[in-house]
Chains A and B, each alone.
Chain A
Amino acid sequence: MLLQLKNIKKSFGKVEVLKGITFSLDEGMILGLIGENGAGKSTMMNLLGGIFPPTAGEMFLNGETYLPNSPIAAQSKGVAFIHQELNLFPNLSIAENLFINQFPKKRFFGVSRIDKKTINVKAKELLGQVGLTMDPNKKVEELSPAPRQLVEIAKALGANPKIIIFDEPTTSLSHHEAKKLFELIKKLKAQGIAMIYISHNLDDVLKLVDSVAILRDGELVRMDEKKSFDIQTMVKEMVGREMLEFFPGRMKKIGKKVLEVENLTAKGFIKDVTFHIKKQEVVGFYGLVGAGRSEMVRVLYGLDRFDSGSIVWKGELIDKTNPVLSIQRGIAFLTEDRIEEGLLTRMNIQKNAQLAALGHFTKGLLHRINRFEAKEKVKEKVYATKTKYENLTEQLVSTLSGGNQQKIVLAKWLLTDPELLILDEPTKGIDIGAKREIYGLINNLVENGSSVLMISSELEELMGLCDRIIVMSKGKITASFDKSQFERNTILEVALHKQTAIL
């Protein structure tokens, strides 16, 4: 037995986040750890990774007591942690990132200096282990997300780990890149390294792991071998109830075209993109990371410029577009990066929710704000999104959970009464309960006359919600499927093989 946890408890203030966790991990074993947001996954991993100590309970590594007081202490004991947010310094080279804390040194007139030759050799060796063949002197800022992830893993391997913890490693990877990562994980498993794999993507978990552990409300509700699980049972254990009708249906009455995009081109990003969206239609965009989907909607919304092509909004040719005009036209845009582009984290819920619709609550030359009206309207929408909160005007939005934060961002856009809602990865990193509520909100909006353009990396989600799925690859649209044609493997294949254009 490599790692053993006995009755581990952790409290923050009065809140008990972990209520006595007991489990063990063997050499060369991959454990999938799943649970809704707030179930205690991160807390548990932070305990293992040495970010903070447990309140009670014992941990053993190789039979010895294991109580790391820092990430470095954990690393030196052989526990490496690959965070969802990579811990790399883009301004330094790959090699420097690999050795940031223990540069090989040599003496030079009694002065210890970095040994650049040894570093290069060692770095190449480590990069080789993860299948990277690039120059270690390249700066990390020049790398795209997938190789960055591999550099992070190489860094972990440099410390000869016995256990590697992966926290949502595939969120910024394409399907193909994720597949390569899985191969690497299996290779490491063969070398006897044990791994804990945390993910919301249950398909991946089932494909990859040996055993599954499910956390709910700080308790380990079930841990068993993989073969005793399927998606349905996993979901059921995670939320503690059956999830019937995961994708609720909606009334179908698709109307006239509201948005027509023709030959839209932004050099270096997208090329000759042509599609349309009808009233009360949900159109999904699927493709690899970097296929140009986010770039395309940013151009549509007016955040980035386009070079040629035309955008027709409700029969009118648009020659100029920016966020202010878009909001006036009734277009709303929920971005992928919630913290950096969606929220004002150090402000209260009210200020966050009212921001985009402020124009509705002002009057006169000085744009005086009607606070009472603003508060009533926000309250209404926040109630509609089923956000759990304590106080609209006192509580900072940063104190909400990820799912509730996303609902606030959604409420912000719903307050602008959008006719077209653009959603970029709206359920990224959100637990299943909140996901389902967001799906319900989307359906509600569409039934009330709006249209939705939705980007997602989860194909199931698109297939469950959309009337049409458009696939993009390398900045171009390569295929389009109507609901009747939805078939998982076909869509995946088109997304992966760029040249099989059906359109």
Chain B
Amino acid sequence: MILDATVDGQRHRVEVVGGRGRYTVTLDGRALDVDWQPGPGPFASLVVGGRSHDIGLEPWSGGYRVLVAGHEFDVELSETTGAGPENPRPAPAGPARLTAPMPGRIVRLLAEPGQEVQAGQGLVVMEAMKMENELRSPRAGRVAEVHVRERQTIETGALLVVVE
């Protein structure tokens, strides 16, 4: 199986073959022989060239979140496009959608539709876990839509504001 893996903003081509605890993972043309011991639960043990790695692994948007030796990685996986390794991903274009990073309550709206805003300018003040958090505009532009009102209770992922 050949995949594109994106981690830390870099794309890598990864090929994996094998089974029953023995795999060869070819990463950007470099082959690693992996002794793979899954479990318990979402944990796994990898021994690569005699080096032991104790990891945690869980499904995460578009791939896996992997914990390795105190570090955390969001590894995005996709069917390979045939592009070479290490191509940085293009910057997202089009309207930017500000969504709620956690459940909570809208305390104040700091921008209204039509208003010009700077990147990093506060758009919404949200209260969660007893703290007021200012959520900022992901980019400069004009506020196109405001989807919440003050004192409204919202869930994670709720669309708050669209900036064009």
Chain B associates with chain A: no
| Interface residues in chain B, defined as those with a beta carbon under 8 Å from any beta carbon in chain A | none
